[in-house]
Amino acid sequence: MMVERSELGGNDMPESVTCWCRDPVIYLTLWSSVNQWVKEAGQQELHQWLKFTVWPIKDSELLLFFHSSAPGWFEYLAACQASIGPLVGAIYQCQLSRSSSQSVEDELCFKAVIDGADSLLLLFRLEPEQEPILYANPAATAVTLYANRELVGANLTALLFEGEESDSFREQLHRKSSYSGELWCHKGDGGRELLHLNCYCISRSRRVYAIIGRDYSEQHQLQQAVARTQKMQAIGELVGGIAHDFNNILGVLKGNLELMQLKTSDPKAEKYLNTAFKACQRGTDLTRRLLSFSRQEQFNAAPCQVNEVIEGLQELFAKSLTSQITLSIELATDNKPVMLDKGDLEDALLNLLLNGRDAMEGKGELKIRTGSCYLSGYLPGIAIGKTQVEPGHYVWISVIDSGNGIPKAFQDKVFDPFFTTKDKSKGTGLGLAMVYGFVKRSKGYIAILNTGASGTEFRLWFPQSRKLTLEPQLGSYTSEVPRVRRPIKAIVVDDEPEMLEVMADYCDLLGIEAELFHDPLIVLQRYEQQRCDAELLITDVLMPGGINGYELAQKLNVKHSLLVLLISGFIQNIGISSADEMPFPVLHKPFELTGLILALKQVGIRFADDSKGELWTI
């Protein structure tokens, strides 16, 4: 081996060494052995080479190193000393030339690869106080929006990172000589971009490092969307279970209050009963709002005109706003019906209106606009993640305020449950989360279409209904309780004993003979093999025992052709994915006798007063 004398003063592997065998693997292997040898005090690692036999070349800076040389070799070298210098020098220069040519070719190949890479690549030197950038590939300029001349020579962390992120990056490099993770990167246009970075040392001196980075923004948005979906689903399941139990309690209360009201004529008792009814109704409204967190399908959705809903709320809107707020409403005349829960739409509009009122601090201008459009591709505006829409025709509703806009840092959090920028006494952070839940249940979309110094526009899109006609309006009312046109026997199933008693009294009032069960398995075992003389099945949906009301209804309907009415306070995990797949009518708890009568008519039960076109109410 040959090495230049000037490189003998350090600890690094000498780069000028040339192997006559031209096999760098042998050289690297030798060095890995040499630098493991025990050194004497003050001795440099490179001096370990001296354990080889060293032969200096006369009039040259080159040294020859021999390992396990053959006997008589050095006597031969002494005799040829006059001619060996030029010979070795020529060989050395030849190998250097070959090495240089190969290095140029390798460098060109390497440069072509990194210049054509899609990933950001930066080389920098790690110094105690700064990290000057040595090289930036074209992808780095495209990602950061800095020109190459702005990157090369600049301090890496000062230019691209900030604060705690910069400190964490530097600390990990000094401690581990590597870094892997996500960092927000400053861009030349003043914006920021989330990058996934891998940083590692590429020099033996442990001073030169390479960073390979890629845009992580879209993946980050997708992760946030998944996390938010999981969070909303968890909250929905939690409140759904609570609402189910609460609705059962309210159903028993309302049923007994109504039955008591039918049997009393005392004005004082009537007053107390009405007060109790109002309290039950508030509880019903509360559970409906809680269920807005759930992402379950809406089984009580019906075709409705959004324009009619908005027009019907104008008086309530006016009462909810201050005298310093101007409300204008612009409704398109060609909107088609949409399939949704009218009550939930009313709540959503009121929440958006109150949100706009608070954003303007009680004064300014609010607008409500509607229209129709065709959507495809990605949802416009600022949505939760990058939302791919189902192509089709949609009816949209916009609520626009003239406030100061939503700060960028909050835009991806406004639909999170319990997120609020208001004082705790003024807001719970549930309003927009409920709007979001309602829109998703309705198979629609919501986004911040515009926000800035001139105000914010929230837009909701709902798919046009496939049903071309709206549900008929209720007819006139009579105070007489109607009875079924002919005797009917019904199987009534509910796991709540008190609710079964209420249903028994309701059926008795209507002239229906009720056979009561608290366990759906008992019903199935009894009527799966024997004949069933009942015509109607009224069953709760979610019940313990291994079978739910929907499955029971399917089995008995197929075997005995029963009419079916499902009653429930909450529907989930029953084996169907959408309301369109539900083959049976659903009556939601808590309900009154009026609701039961209307549901039975929908099932096909005929009442004695049907020919008059009248509907009964208390």
Report yes or no: 198 and 208 within 8 Å, Cβ to Cβ: no
pLDDT of residue 330: 94
Query: Is the same domain home to 501 and 602?
Result: yes
CA–CA separation, 127 vs 451, rounded Å?
Answer: 44
CA–CA separation, 16 vs 27, rounded Å?
Answer: 11
Domain count for the chain: 4
Query: Is the same domain home to 453 and 319?
Result: yes
421 pLDDT more than 80 = no
Query: Is the same domain home to 47 and 188?
Result: no
Q: Which residue has the higher pLDDT, 614 or 65?
A: 65
pLDDT of residue 13: 54
Q: Tokens standing for 66?
A: 């021999």
134: domain CATH number is: 3.30.450.20
Using alpha carbons, select from 446, 473, 462, 471 the residue that is nearest to residue 336.
462
**Which residues on neighbouring strands pair with residue 372, listed in sequence order?**
395
Q: 179-235: per-residue pLDDT in tens?
A: 888 888 888 888 888 888 888 888 776 778 888 888 887 777 777 777 766 776 777
472 pLDDT more than 50 = no
CA–CA separation, 258 vs 468, rounded Å?
Answer: 36
Question: Of 436, 463, 490, which one is at a domain's C-terminal end?
Answer: 463
- What's 273's DSSP letter? H
Residue 388, in any domain of the structure: yes
Query: Is the same domain home to 314 and 453?
Result: yes
Residue 395's pLDDT band, with cuts at 50, 70 and 90, is: very high
Residue 266, in any domain of the structure: no
- What's 580's DSSP letter? G
Query: Is the same domain home to 444 and 310?
Result: yes
Mean pLDDT, rounded, for 116-127? 83
Query: Is the same domain home to 193 and 321?
Result: no
Looking at every residue in the chain, the average pLDDT score rounds to 76
Query: Is the same domain home to 324 and 455?
Result: yes
pLDDT of residue 422: 60
Query: Is the same domain home to 520 and 492?
Result: yes
Residue 276, in any domain of the structure: no
497 pLDDT more than 70 = yes
pLDDT of residue 195: 87
Mean pLDDT, rounded, for 465-482? 52
For residue 62, the enclosing domain spans: 2-109
Residue 89, in any domain of the structure: yes
Residue 328's pLDDT band, with cuts at 50, 70 and 90, is: very high
CA–CA separation, 261 vs 502, rounded Å?
Answer: 13
CA–CA separation, 136 vs 409, rounded Å?
Answer: 30
Q: Tokens standing for 92?
A: 């050395």
458-477 burial, b at 16+ Cβ within 10 Å, e below that, comes to bbbbbbbbeeeeeeeeeeee
Question: Which of 377-381, 389-393, 487-491 comes out lowest in average pLDDT?
Answer: 377-381
ω into residue 86 within 30 of 0, thus cis? Answer: no
174 pLDDT more than 50 = yes
Could you report how far apart the first and last alpha carbons of the chain are, in Å?
A: 109
10 pLDDT more than 60 = no
Helices (H), 60-127: 73-79, 81-116
Amino acid at 87: L
Contacts (Cβ under 8 Å, ≥6 apart) of 241: 570
Q: Which residue has the higher pLDDT, 113 or 365?
A: 365
Q: Tokens standing for 594?
A: 């009026």
Query: Is the same domain home to 187 and 77?
Result: no
DSSP E strand boundaries for 40-87: 53-56, 62-66
Burial class of residue 561 in the structure, from the number of CB atoms within 10 Å of its CB (0-12 exposed, 13-18 middle, 19+ buried): exposed
Question: Of 168, 184, 215, which one is at a domain's C-terminal end?
Answer: 215
Residue 297, in any domain of the structure: no
Residue 79, in any domain of the structure: yes
Report yes or no: 251 and 284 within 8 Å, Cβ to Cβ: no
Residue 439, in any domain of the structure: yes
Question: Of 430, 463, 496, which one is at a domain's C-terminal end?
Answer: 463
Residue 264, in any domain of the structure: no
Query: Is the same domain home to 365 and 445?
Result: yes
Query: Is the same domain home to 351 and 437?
Result: yes
CA–CA separation, 482 vs 509, rounded Å?
Answer: 8
508: domain CATH number is: 3.40.50.2300
Query: Is the same domain home to 345 and 445?
Result: yes
Give, for 567, the enclosing helix (H) or strand (E).
strand 563-568
Q: What whole-number percentage of the chain has pLDDT above 90? A: 15
